[in-house]
Amino acid sequence: MRLQKFTPQRIWILIGYAAAAAALFSAPLFVSDFRLNLLAKFLAFAIVALGLDLIWGYTGILSLGHGIFFGLGAYAMAMYLKLEASGGKPPDFMGWSGLKELPLFWQPFQSFWFAVAMGIAIPALLALVLGYFTFRNRIRGVYFTILTQALVIITTTLLIGQQAFTGGTNGITGYSTVLGYAIGSPETKRVLYYITVVALIAIFIFCRYVIGSRFGKVLRAIRDGENRARFIGYNPAIYQMVVFTISAGIAGVAGMLFVLHVGIISPSMLGIVPSIEMVLWVAIGGRGTLVGAALGAILMNWAKSEFSTAYPQGWLFFMGLLFVVVVVFLPKGVAGLVSQIKFRKKRREPNHEGIRNPAV
Amino acid sequence: MEVFLLQIFNGLSISSILLLVALGLAITFGLMKVINMAHGELIMIGAYSTYLTQNLFHDYLPKSMFDWYFVLAVPVSFVIAFLFGLILEMSLIRFLYGRPLDSLLATWGVGLVLQQLARSIFGAPNVAVTSPAWLNGGLKIMDGTLLPYKRIFIIALVIACLVAMYFYIYRSHEGRRMRAVMQNRDMASCLGVSTRRVDAMTFAIGSGIAGIAGCALTLLGPIGPSLGTYYIVDAFMVVVLGGVGKLVGTVLGATGIGMFNTLFEYWTNASLGKVLVFVCIVAFLQWKPMGLVAMRSRSLD
Amino acid sequence: MKKRMFYQFSVLLVAVTIVLAGCGANDNKTASTNGETDKATNTANSGASTEGEIKVGILHSQSGTMAISEVSVIDAEMMAIDEINAAGGVLGKKIVPVLEDGASDWPTFAEKARKLISEDKVATVFGGWTSASRKAMKPVFEELNGLLWYPVQYEGLESSPNIFYTGATTNQQIVPSVSWLLENRGKKFYLLGSDYVFPRTANLVIKEQLKAEGGELVGEEYTPLGHTDYSTLISKIKQAKPDVVYNTLNGDSNVAFFKQLKDAGITAKDLTTLSVSVAEEEIRGIGVDVLEGHLAAWNYYQTTDTPANKTFVENYKKKFGDERVTADPIEAGYTAVYLWAAAVEKAGSVEVDKVKEAAKELEWDAPEGKVKIDGATQHIYKTVRIGEVQADGQFKELWNSGEAVKPDPYLKGYEWAASIQPTE
């Protein structure tokens, strides 16, 4: 990374990072196995939120199809886990769907590392192909968003329809071991938790690096004025394509971790509602700030698992209203609110990082 | 031959339903650039309004009158959805002009709240609407080929809505003001048009038509809190495929999707048919990003 | 810019602290009530009986698409618990239900099941509706040695040591109804279902049975969940000219299908349809006018004539309102609670292994008639009933199997079913 002066603020920031990392690493000492498992799931969601923030907060592309990329990563890992559980024989759901032989495309998923590679590569490739066509044809803004919804419907309908190959609505569940270790044992779960923390931190640093680089500056230029960026001589399509691919790959990583923690993936996790919920986390935490996005994901999911049981009806009311309030009155989310309050005291500065595109 | 005729009729019928569902959206999205994800819930409100009208007739009027509840239900659904739209515009949408993506997210939240509201008021299970006797049965055109009156009624209803909208937008003073505001807001405002009022009216009319769609859907399908979610994505596809800002485009988009849907479903099965239709739409938009009927414009964004 | 980042960090720190504190606090609470058992997850259930009360979990969807069906089952299970408590409880202790929301989302079912067993230390869980939710919970119950009572008819081919199935398996609903249809209504079958696991597996069984018993398959179609336009499908059915449409559609699709079937001029007189997911509750949402005369196969109807059912229906209506109706899964949920309580009494303990042992061959007078738990499969013996929808929204029983049928989830007793046995 670039060399920068160590101003007092910067030192405080570093201390803040260190404290957060320390808190995450020491969490297993304080919380029960069940809670740790939940926390690990939230951290996986935080990873998707980071990827989503990269394209929405920093590039201004709203994808309502990130559930697909998350899900594809998850399915890759689930296929490996299922094959390990069945010892390489066709898994149970193929049996009750009338399939006797393991299909060819399932075969290589017996290898853990192949599955991991595919968990990142398949979502990334799909995003690359989709991005290549749509961005090159200058489909953007609202149109892109609606297209991603169509893609969600295509993917879920296919996954559900091809029950013999994908497990249908049930999805894929019933795993026993990962690389030979029992997936349910507290020790394995603890190790998986640490892996998730490391992945989150690594991806966080990677995203910081991306937005700090020249590439990241161009992304923000595209967000604030796509045509202006084009006239200066950048080709926005290439930048959008690349960042969309990166974001999809990150979602794939999150999906793989999700399956390891939760033990099931089903098409319902790829649907329109989860995809929009992911956007909600970023919106509430604060788009355009990585910390905000990650925190939004963790807090929203924590709140959901705490309150949705006690007030299953009230929870949906609350979530809907929260969505409205945040989008209308706090376009930069909670993270934006904090800095806003502080800044207002000093001076009312123009909104130079504006999310809104003045021309549309 | 029979089957062929029936399939064309089925295609037309699906097109008419899609069009009815998308018409309101064509106004709010096409003219005002507001992505109203709560459109589906406005449809649901229309459906529940019909249910309430039916119950009122059932409880307070003689049995002989019952069959005519539906005649009243259409305007009632329109008015109730219209009022909801008006409230929605005045309290929320007006903060969101010029922020289409934000309007998408905020209205999705509104949709969630409305669904939950319906669940609290009417309960989670579906409610039953008995269709009026004069819509039962169908037109027999040849042996074994029956065109249900309900579907013919819906086609007629769509045509009526289209004609009414045409006259409103292109032949009335209100409509002229509306077009003026949509074309050039500042200029219209300078010439004394109250843009706030026009915005509110336009959005409310779009919502009202969603209410009519909801009323029509009670004839064919389930009436429950999640009714709107079944149609919302399809409705957006119709508008986007047709091209934003032109009624003709919306009509063409709906007809195209409806016909192809029937065709693919007949050839393959319902799941695959749906996938094929969506794939075709995505592919078509790559080729013509502005849809079937593009608005000519010199503006860049 | 930098200042702003500083504040982001304050937010980050505060939030992480809150989350951790929240987790920690909750953890302490459960740890203090359960003392030593906290660590030993595998014997977690022995901690369920604290002084004077026994905790049981109820895990159904209270929100989302499945809430429509599952909320009534919660009501029935709560009613059973109240009745048992009013009569003195189990082992002299009160049953305390812990409600969790599965939210119509399978991973949530798995998560909440884990919470109920390892955090709340419940003695047993009553829950699930869709096959997918059961499949999602199954590994959790097997891993933590919990106990689940599943109240809905399902596609069979499963028998988990940690699940009791109080709904019908295929040979208690589908297989006998197909035989009955072949005998009484005709040989040509059209299979129509929603695109998910239950219809596909059920149809796999039906196809084999048709082959063996001289039926003829003239069509098979699946529509996506939530599909609402059946005009094309109805023309396909018309073309195929079946004697019987065997309907495994789920939820809202049934409304659209039956309304549009009637519009196309096809009534129950012209075409027999038999549904396996349309019960009294669903009839209210579809409308009696379109359903009258159509058939369904279940093990229980509100009109089933047993003394136990009379009191059950009476109490249910008294408790939840006169307009409410009972239905097969509601009755199965109610039965599950009583069967569990009886097994606990017999075992003298709520420990899973002891309860399972005591439950073997246990009998109880359920509203549907006498039921008995089959020790080998942990399913229950049930009477099969075919009913016809009447103008008042209730069923008239056309046929029943006479005696409770022994459950056979893997259809081992049927020669033609050899090819659908699981490979493992």
Please tell me the predicted confidence (pLDDT) of residue B127. 87
Q: Which residues of B touch C281 (CB under 8 A)?
A: 125
Q: What's the whole-number average pLDDT of chain B?
A: 90
Residue from the list A33, A262, A295 with its beta carbon closest to the beta carbon of C15: A295
Q: Residue C6 — pLDDT band, cuts 50, 70, 90?
A: low
Interface test with C, best of A5, A155, A268, A316 (most C CBs within 10 A): A268
CA angle B88, B92, B94 (to 5 degrees): 105
Q: Residue C39 — pLDDT band, cuts 50, 70, 90?
A: very low
- Mean pLDDT of all residues in C206-231: 92
Least confident of B211-225, C47-61, C175-189, C407-421: C47-61
* Cβ-count burial B134-155 (b if 16+ within 10 Å, e if not): ebbebeeeeeebbbbbbbbbbb
Searching chain B, which residue's CA lies closest to the CA of residue A287?
A: B102
Interface A-C: count of C-beta contacts within 8 A: 205
- Mean pLDDT of all residues in C348-363: 94
**pLDDT, tens digit, 9 for 90 and up, residues B6-63:** 889 999 999 999 999 999 999 888 888 889 999 999 999 999 999 999 999 999 988 8
Residue A355 has pLDDT above 70, yes or no: no
Searching chain C, which residue's CA lies closest to the CA of residue A173?
A: C136
Residue C37 has pLDDT above 70, yes or no: no
CA C288, C366, C338, C65: dihedral to nearest 10 degrees? -20
**pLDDT, tens digit, 9 for 90 and up, residues B120-152:** 898 878 888 888 989 988 888 877 678 999 999
- Mean pLDDT of all residues in C250-266: 89
Q: What is the spatial distance between Cα B94 and Cα C402, in angstroms, rounded to a whole number?
A: 67
Q: Which chains share 3+ C-beta pairs under 8 angstroms with B? A: A, C
Q: Is C396 helix (H, G, I), strand (E, B) or coil?
A: strand
Please tell me the predicted confidence (pLDDT) of residue A142. 85
Please tell me the predicted confidence (pLDDT) of residue C32. 34
CB contact, 8 Å: A142 with chain B? yes
Q: What is the spatial distance between Cα C300 and Cα C326, in angstroms, rounded to a whole number?
A: 9
Interface B-C: count of C-beta contacts within 8 A: 106
Searching chain B, which residue's CA lies closest to the CA of residue C219?
A: B269
- Radius of gyration, alpha carbons of chain B: 20
- Mean pLDDT of all residues in C26-32: 37
Q: What is the DSSP string of B45-109?
A: HHHHHHHHHHHHHHHHS-GGGGGGHHHHHHHHHHHHHHHHHHHHHHHTGGG-TT-HHHHHHHHHH
Q: Residue B243 — pLDDT band, cuts 50, 70, 90?
A: confident
Given an 8 Å threshold on Cβ–Cβ distance, is A173 in contact with C136? yes
Place of tokens 């209803």: B157
Q: What is the spatial distance between Cα C326 and Cα C371, in angstroms, rounded to a whole number?
A: 18
Please tell me the predicted confidence (pLDDT) of residue C424. 47
Residue B250 has pLDDT above 90, yes or no: yes
Residue from the list B3, B137, B262 with its beta carbon closest to the beta carbon of C239: B3
Given an 8 Å threshold on Cβ–Cβ distance, is B126 in contact with C255? yes
* Residue C39 structure tokens: 């660590």
Searching chain A, which residue's CA lies closest to the CA of residue C30?
A: A32
Please tell me the predicted confidence (pLDDT) of residue C394. 95
Given an 8 Å threshold on Cβ–Cβ distance, is C233 in contact with B130? no
Please tell me the predicted confidence (pLDDT) of residue A138. 85
Please tell me the predicted confidence (pLDDT) of residue C26. 43
**pLDDT, tens digit, 9 for 90 and up, residues C104-163:** 889 999 999 999 999 999 999 999 999 999 999 999 999 999 999 999 999 998 999 999
Residue C44 has pLDDT above 70, yes or no: no
- Mean pLDDT of all residues in A195-216: 96
Q: Which chains share 3+ C-beta pairs under 8 angstroms with C? A: A, B
Say what the pTM is: 0.89
- Mean pLDDT of all residues in A10-21: 88
Please tell me the predicted confidence (pLDDT) of residue B298. 65
Q: Is B288 helix (H, G, I), strand (E, B) or coil?
A: coil
Please tell me the predicted confidence (pLDDT) of residue C16. 53
Please tell me the predicted confidence (pLDDT) of residue C195. 87
Residue C48 has pLDDT above 70, yes or no: no
* Residue B134 structure tokens: 């004069």
Please tell me the predicted confidence (pLDDT) of residue A350. 46
- Mean pLDDT of all residues in B263-285: 92
| B86 phi/psi in degrees, rounded to 5 | -60, -45
Q: What is the spatial distance between Cα B100 and Cα B245, in angstroms, rounded to a whole number?
A: 15
Residue from the list C68, C238, C284 with its beta carbon closest to the beta carbon of B128: C284
Read off the amino acid at residue B238: V
Q: What is the spatial distance between Cα B161 and Cα C215, in angstroms, rounded to a whole number?
A: 49
Q: Residue C18 — pLDDT band, cuts 50, 70, 90?
A: low
Nearest to C328 by CA among C75, C153, C197, C154: C153
Q: Which sign, positive or negative, has the C-alpha torsion B265, B267, B272, B274?
A: negative
Q: What is the spatial distance between Cα C96 and Cα B86, in angstroms, rounded to a whole number?
A: 48
Q: What is the spatial distance between Cα C70 and Cα C132, in angstroms, rounded to a whole number?
A: 14
* Cβ-count burial B189-220 (b if 16+ within 10 Å, e if not): eeeebebeebbbbbbbbbbbbbbbbbbbbbbb
**pLDDT, tens digit, 9 for 90 and up, residues A92-120:** 888 777 788 899 999 999 999 999 999 99
Q: What is the spatial distance between Cα C163 and Cα C154, in angstroms, rounded to a whole number?
A: 13
Given an 8 Å threshold on Cβ–Cβ distance, is B113 in contact with A316? yes
Place of tokens 């886990």: A81
**pLDDT, tens digit, 9 for 90 and up, residues B199-225:** 999 999 999 999 999 999 999 988 988
Q: What is the spatial distance between Cα C201 and Cα A96, in angstroms, rounded to a whole number?
A: 6
Q: Residue C225 — pLDDT band, cuts 50, 70, 90?
A: confident
Q: What is the spatial distance between Cα B4 and Cα C319, in angstroms, rounded to a whole number?
A: 54
Residue from the list A97, A338, A342 with its beta carbon closest to the beta carbon of C200: A97
Searching chain B, which residue's CA lies closest to the CA of residue C235?
A: B3
Read off the amino acid at residue B205: I
Q: Which residues contact C318 (CB under 8 A, 6 or more apart)?
A: none
Q: How far is CA C324 from the centre of its chain?
A: 19
More confident residue, C5 or A282: A282
Question: What are the Cα distances from residue B286, in Å, to A123, B101, B299, C391?
Answer: 20, 21, 21, 53
Q: What is the spatial distance between Cα B143 and Cα B150, in angstroms, rounded to a whole number?
A: 19
Q: Which residues contact A298 (CB under 8 A, 6 or more apart)?
A: A42, A43, A45, A46, C15, C16, C19
State the complex-level ipTM.
Answer: 0.89
Decide: A173 and A17 in contact? Cβ < 8 Å: no
Q: Which residues of B touch A142 (CB under 8 A)?
A: 33, 35, 100-101, 104
Residue C35 has pLDDT above 50, yes or no: no
Residue from the list B125, B138, B150 with its beta carbon closest to the beta carbon of C281: B125
Percent of chain B at pLDDT > 90 equals 60
* Residue C423 structure tokens: 């490979």
Residue C355 has pLDDT above 60, yes or no: yes
Given an 8 Å threshold on Cβ–Cβ distance, is C139 in contact with A175? yes
Q: Which sign, positive or negative, has the C-alpha torsion C252, C253, C258, C263?
A: positive
Please tell me the predicted confidence (pLDDT) of residue C31. 35
Given an 8 Å threshold on Cβ–Cβ distance, is B300 in contact with A157? no
Residue C46 has pLDDT above 80, yes or no: no
**pLDDT, tens digit, 9 for 90 and up, residues A249-307:** 999 999 999 999 999 999 988 988 899 999 989 998 988 899 999 999 999 999 888 88
Please tell me the predicted confidence (pLDDT) of residue A358. 41
Given an 8 Å threshold on Cβ–Cβ distance, is B271 in contact with C259? no
Nearest to B293 by CA among B253, B251, B249: B249
- Mean pLDDT of all residues in A18-29: 92
Cα of B283 to nearest chain A Cα, Å: 9
Nearest to A109 by CA among A124, A97, A126, A91: A91
Please tell me the predicted confidence (pLDDT) of residue B119. 87
**pLDDT, tens digit, 9 for 90 and up, residues A42-62:** 999 999 999 999 999 999 999
Residue count (chain B): 301
Nearest to C267 by CA among C182, C385, C389: C389
More confident residue, B27 or A198: A198
Q: Residue C47 — pLDDT band, cuts 50, 70, 90?
A: very low
For C323, other C-beta atoms within 10 Å of its C-beta total: 7
Q: What's the whole-number average pLDDT of chain A?
A: 88
Given an 8 Å threshold on Cβ–Cβ distance, is A319 in contact with B240? no
Place of tokens 């394995």: A188
CB contact, 8 Å: A150 with chain B? yes
**pLDDT, tens digit, 9 for 90 and up, residues A119-139:** 999 999 999 999 999 999 888
**Which of residues 73 through 92 in chain A touch B, CB cutoff 8 A?**
none
